[in-house]
C-alpha cells in the first residue's frame, strides 16, 4: 500500500527515455523548404531544368549549365493553417513564420576546353514551426491506461501508480480510468533544419555533364505540449485508487532536440542543343545524430481538491538514417516556352534508428509495417519571351502517401506560381506563391488496447509560402 498522507511529490529520473513515434522519423525525410525562389516556382519539375544555383541541391551536374558566375539569396514567409481531426472533432490553428530561405555562390572556369563549375550554398531545408490543438471525448482510450500498461515496471518510475491512478498486482499495473475522459491538447513546435552543400560539376562532352555534392545538415527542434484528461461526465466520481477519487490529470511536456547530419549526391545532365534536357540524380542516405533533453510534469487532481505531481527530466541520444532518394527530370524548350517534368522516389520504410535504447529500436519494426515507398511527380511551365524583362512560371507537384494504410489527404499536393523581373542584364528578382496541402498522422500516446485510431489524430497542414529572391550573374 502507498502511504496516503503524502499529497505532493516530486521525483527526478534523469535517464528515462522519452517516447518517440513514426512521425519523429518522417519529420526528417520530407523537406518543405525553398531552395531558390525560381526552383520553388517549378516544384519537382525543376529536375528537368537545374540551370541555376538550385542545381547544387537538386542535381549538381546542372552547375555547368550556368553560363556565368551566380550569386543568389532569398527570403521567405509562411502562413500555416493546421487543422486537427480527433474523434471526428476538427480544430484549426493558424501561425506565421519568416526566415532566410537560401544563399549561395556558383562559379565556373575552363579546364582543357571543358567547363568546370563549383558551388557552395545554404538553404533552410525544413521549417518545423507549427501550432495545433485538439479536444474531444475519448470513449475508448486514455493516457493513464497507456502508462499503466506500457510504462516502467518500477513503482517510483510509473507515474500512473505514483499518482494513485493505477493499482499493482504482482508485476503489472492496472487502472480503472481507461476511457470516457475528455482529452485536450495544445502543441507548439519550433525549429528548423539547415543545409550547407558544396558541389562540383564538369562537362564530359558538349552534351553531357557530371556532378557531385557533399551535404552537411544541422538544426534544432522543440516540442511543447500541454495535455489534459478530465472526468467531466463524472463517470469515475465513485471510483478510487487507495482512497483517491480521480478528477483530472494535466501534463506539461518539453522536448529540445539538436541534430546534425551528413549526406551527398551524384548527378548527370544530358542535353541536345537548346531544345531538350534530361537530368538524373541519386541522393545518398543522410546519417543524422540526435542529442535531446526533455522534461515532463504530471499533476493529478482529486475530487477532494487534493493533488499530487510527478516530474522527471532526462536526456537521450541516437542516430537516424534516411533512405536513398532517386530523382530525374526532362524539359523541352521552344520559342521562349519551357515545359518540364520531374519525378522522385524514396522508400521511407527504410528509415532506421540506431545506437538507441530498446524502445526506440523497436520502432524500426513499426516503421517497416506502417510506411511504404513514396513517389513525387509533377510538371511545370516557364515562359521567358526574351524581348521583355519579365518571365512567368507555374507548376503542380504531388507526392503519394508514405503510409501503408490510407488517411484523408495523405497525398501531398503543391501548386506554385512565380515570376521574374530583370532589373538589368545580370540582375534578376524572383517571386513565388506556393500553396501546399497534406495530412499526417500524429500520435498522442500508445493505446493500451492496440487500437491506434483512439490515440492518434490527423493533422491537416495547408501552408501558404511567399518568397522573394535575387540573383546576380557576373
The model's pLDDT over 364-401, given as tens digits with 9 standing for 90+, comes to: 999 999 999 999 999 999 999 988 999 999 999 999 99
Given this model, what pLDDT does residue 452 score?
Answer: 86
The 10s digit of each residue's pLDDT in 87-100 is 999 999 998 999 99
Give CA separation, 212 vs 62, 75, 281, in Å: 10, 26, 9
Is there a domain that residue 8 lies in? no
Which residues, in sequence order, are bridge partners of residue 191? 221
| Mean pLDDT value across residues 15-22 | 62
- State the pLDDT at residue 177: 97
- The vertex-125 CA angle with 352 and 82, nearest 5°, equals 90
Burial status of residue 166 (CB atoms within 10 A of its CB: 0-12, 13-18, 19 or more):
buried
163 inside domain: yes
What's the pLDDT at 14?
A: 36
- Our measurement of the distance from residue 316's CA atom to the centroid of its chain's CA atoms, rounded to an integer in Å, reads 20
**Domain range spanning residue 33?**
22-473
- Residue 30, pLDDT score: 85
CA–CA dist 60, 410 (Å, integer): 30
What per-residue confidence (pLDDT) applies to 450?
87
Q: How far is CA 37 from CA 34, 40, 448, 467, in A?
A: 7, 5, 47, 6
What was the pLDDT predicted at 386? 87
103-138 confidence digits (pLDDT tens):
999 999 988 889 999 999 999 999 999 999 999 999
State the DSSP string of 121-134.
EEEEEEE--EEEEE
- 275: domain CATH number? 2.40.160.60
155-177: pLDDT as tens digits: 999 999 999 999 999 889 999 99
Q: What is the pLDDT of residue 112?
A: 85
In a domain, 87, yes or no: yes
Look at residue 19 in the predicted model and tell me its pLDDT.
63
Kindly indicate the confidence band of residue 408, based on its pLDDT and cuts at 50, 70 and 90: confident
- Tell me the pLDDT band of 409, cut-offs 50, 70 and 90: confident
Band the pLDDT of 18: cuts 50, 70, 90: low
Q: Does the structure show a pLDDT above 60 at 7?
A: no
Distance CA 237, CA 462 (A): 42
**CA dist., res. 32 & res. 224, Å (int):** 21
Asked if pLDDT for residue 69 goes beyond 80, the answer is: yes
Residue range 458-463: mean pLDDT, rounded: 95
* pLDDT for res 16: 44
Residue 458 is assigned to a structural domain of this protein = yes
Q: Flag whether 9 is in a domain.
A: no
Q: How confident is the model at residue 5 (pLDDT cuts 50, 70, 90)?
A: very low
pLDDT at 377: 98
The conformation of residue 16, written as its DSSP 8-state character, comes to P
CA-nearest of 348, 301, 300 to 325 is 348
Rounded Cα distance, 68 and 370, in Å: 47
In this prediction, what percent of the chain has a pLDDT beyond 70?
Answer: 96
For the segment 169-189, the average pLDDT, to the nearest whole number, is 95
* Cross-strand partners of 172: 169
**Residue 437: pLDDT over 60:** yes
Residues 6 or more apart in contact with residue 104 via CB below 8 angstroms? 53, 56, 71, 72, 73, 119, 120, 121, 122, 123
Among 201, 394, 193, residue whose Cα is nearest residue 286: 193
What phi, psi does 350 have (nearest 5°)?
-95, 5
Domain count along the chain: 1
How confident is the prediction for the chain on average, in pLDDT? 93
* Residue 206: inside a domain: yes
- pTM for the model stands at 0.90
Q: For 315-371, write each residue's pLDDT tens digit.
A: 999 999 999 999 999 999 999 999 999 999 999 999 999 999 888 899 999 999 999
Measure Cα distances from 329 to 188, 379, 397, 412, 467 in Å.
37, 9, 13, 19, 24
DSSP symbol at 13: -
259, 290 Cβ separation under 8 angstroms? yes
The pLDDT value recorded for residue 316 is 92
Residue 366 CA to residue 88 CA, distance in Å, equals 25
Is residue 13 assigned to a domain?
no
Q: What are phi and psi of 46, to 5 degrees?
A: -60, -20
User: Which alpha helices (DSSP H) does 66-217 contain, by range?
Assistant: 143-150, 159-162
What angle is formed at CA 124 by the lines to CA 424 and CA 261, rounded to 5 degrees? 135
- pLDDT tops 50 at residue 8: no
Higher pLDDT among residues 273 and 288, named by residue = 288
State residue 407's pLDDT score. 87
In a domain, 432, yes or no: yes
Cell numbers of 187, please?
502543441
Amino acid at each position: 500500500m502507498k502511504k496516503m498522507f503524502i499529497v505532493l511529490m516530486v521525483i527526478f529520473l534523469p535517464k528515462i527515455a522519452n517516447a518517440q513515434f513514426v512521425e519523429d522519423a518522417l519529420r526528417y525525410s520530407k523537406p518543405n523548404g525553398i531552395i531558390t525562389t525560381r526552383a520553388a516556382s517549378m516544384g519537382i519539375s525543376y529536375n528537368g531544368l537545374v540551370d541555376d544555383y538550385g542545381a547544387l541541391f537538386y542535381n549538381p551536374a546542372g552547375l555547368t549549365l550556368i553560363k556565368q558566375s551566380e550569386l543568389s539569396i532569398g527570403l521567405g514567409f509562411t502562413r500555416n493553417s493546421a487543422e486537427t481531426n480527433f474523434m471526428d472533432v476538427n480544430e484549426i490553428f493558424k501561425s506565421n513564420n519568416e526566415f532566410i530561405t537560401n544563399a549561395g555562390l556558383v562559379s565556373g572556369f575552363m579546364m582543357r576546353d571543358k567547363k568546370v563549375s563549383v558551388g557552395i550554398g545554404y538553404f533552410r531545408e525544413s521549417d518545423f514551426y507549427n501550432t495545433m490543438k485538439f479536444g474531444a471525448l475519448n470513449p475508448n482510450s486514455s493516457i493513464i491506461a497507456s502508462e499503466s500498461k506500457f510504462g516502467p515496471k518500477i513503482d517510483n518510475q510509473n507515474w500512473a501508480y505514483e499518482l494513485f491512478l493505477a493499482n499493482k498486482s504482482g508485476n503489472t499495473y492496472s487502472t480503472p480510468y481507461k476511457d470516457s475522459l475528455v482529452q485536450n491538447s495544445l502543441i507548439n513546435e519550433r525549429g528548423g533544419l539547415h543545409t550547407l552543400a558544396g558541389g562540383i560539376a564538369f562537362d564530359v562532352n558538349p552534351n553531357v555533364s557530371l556532378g557531385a555534392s557533399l551535404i552537411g545538415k544541422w538544426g534544432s527542434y522543440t516540442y511543447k505540449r500541454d495535455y489534459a484528461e478530465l472526468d467531466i461526465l463524472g463517470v469515475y466520481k465513485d471510483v478510487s485508487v487507495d482512497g483517491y477519487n480521480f478528477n483530472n490529470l494535466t501534463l506539461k511536456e518539453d522536448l529540445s532536440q539538436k541534430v546534425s547530419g551528413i549526406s551527398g549526391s551524384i548527378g548527370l545532365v544530358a542535353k541536345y542543343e537548346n531544345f531538350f534536357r534530361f537530368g538524373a540524380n541519386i541522393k545518398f542516405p543522410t546519417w543524422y545524430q540526435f542529442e535531446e533533453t526533455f522534461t515532463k510534469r504530471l499533476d493529478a487532481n482529486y475530487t477532494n481538491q487534493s493533488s499530487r505531481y510527478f516530474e522527471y527530466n532526462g536526456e537521450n541520444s541516437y542516430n537516424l538514417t534516411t533512405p536513398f532518394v532517386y530523382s530525374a527530370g526532362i524539359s523541352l524548350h521552344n520559342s521562349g516556352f519551357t515545359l518540364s517534368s520531374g519525378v522522385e522516389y524514396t522508400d521511407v520504410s527504410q528509415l532506421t534508428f540506431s545506437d538507441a535504447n530498446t524502445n526506440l529500436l523497436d520502432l524500426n519494426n513499426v516503421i517497416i509495417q506502417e510506411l511504404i515507398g513514396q513517389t513525387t511527380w509533377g510538371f511545370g511551365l516557364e515562359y521567358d519571351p526574351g524581348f521583355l524583362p519579365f518571365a512567368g512560371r507555374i507548376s503542380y507537384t504531388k507526392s503519394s502517401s508514405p503510409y501503408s494504410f490510407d488517411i484523408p489527404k495523405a497525398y501531398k499536393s503543391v501548386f506554385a506560381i512565380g515570376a521574374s523581373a530583370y532589373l538589368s542584364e545580370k540582375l534578376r528578382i524572383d517571386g513565388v506563391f506556393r500553396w501546399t496541402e497534406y495530412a499526417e498522422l500524429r500520435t498522442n500516446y500508445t493505446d493500451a488496447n492496440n487500437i491506434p485510431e483512439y490515440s492518434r489524430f490527423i493533422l491537416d497542414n495547408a501552408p501558404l509560402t511567399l518568397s522573394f529572391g535575387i540573383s546576380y550573374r557576373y
